[in-house]
């Protein structure tokens, strides 16, 4: 994955930090704004991609919204007792990865000016890969296990 694939993806600069911070706070996470030009702590992918350490999600104004949501969702699908030990890489579980992808699409509807459809287009532009060819096809036709995983944990 690489945000250099498409500069047209929505970035935090496009919607600001207030709504994403409020969304994350509803789930017990903290959005930490990193000053422009500084390295993002806990970023797995580097560049402008969001980072995670414990219950904090780090991002800059140039961070893609899909990246912020994806990393936050990695923390949300983990049991709370595992979150505190997370630094940069939340999981190597395919089940948790799929659940994070599904949850980020669902949570995108809570952000004004984003929504699931736009987020899925940005996921495709960035280079997420799904066996059905697109985030939308996967979400609509192949995400039943991810949805069950989320439902079992009381997530939307």
Q: Which range marks the domain in which residue 36 is found?
A: 10-151
Q: Is residue 95 part of a domain?
A: yes
Distance CA 66, CA 105 (A): 8
Residue 107 lies in a domain: yes
> Which residues, given as ranges, of the chain have pLDDT below 50?
1-5
Q: What angle (nearest 5°) sits at the alpha carbon of residue 28, between those of residues 63 and 115? A: 45
Q: For residue 5, is it within any domain?
A: no
Looking at residue 51, its pLDDT comes to 98
111-136, pLDDT tens digit by residue? 999 999 999 999 999 888 887 889 99
CA gap 153, 149 in Å, rounded: 7
DSSP three-state, residue 52: strand
Give me the chain's average pLDDT, please: 93
Which helix (H) or strand (E) segment holds residue 59: the answer is strand 56-59
Q: Is residue 23 part of a domain?
A: yes
**pLDDT per position as a tens digit, 84-102:** 899 999 888 999 999 999 9
Number of domains in the chain: 1
Q: Which of 133, 33, 52 is nearest to 96 (CA)?
A: 52
What pLDDT score does 5 carry?
Answer: 45
């Amino acid at each position: 994955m690489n945000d250099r694939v498409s500069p047209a993806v929505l970035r935090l600069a496009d919607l600001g930090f207030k709504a994403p911070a409020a969304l994350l706070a509803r789930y017990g996470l903290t959005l930490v704004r990193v000053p422009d030009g500084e390295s993002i702590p806990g970023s797995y992918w580097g560049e402008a991609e969001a980072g995670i350490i414990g219950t904090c999600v780090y991002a800059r104004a140039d961070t893609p919204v899909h990246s912020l949501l994806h990393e936050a969702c990695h923390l949300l699908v983990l049991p709370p007792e595992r979150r505190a030990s997370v630094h940069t890489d939340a999981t190597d579980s395919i089940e948790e990865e799929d659940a994070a992808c599904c949850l980020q699409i669902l949570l995108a509807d809570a952000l004004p000016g984003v929504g699931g459809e736009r987020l899925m287009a940005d996921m495709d532009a960035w280079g997420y890969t799904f066996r059905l060819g697109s985030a939308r096809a996967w979400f609509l036709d192949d995400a039943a296990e991810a949805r069950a995983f989320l439902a079992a944990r009381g997530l939307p």
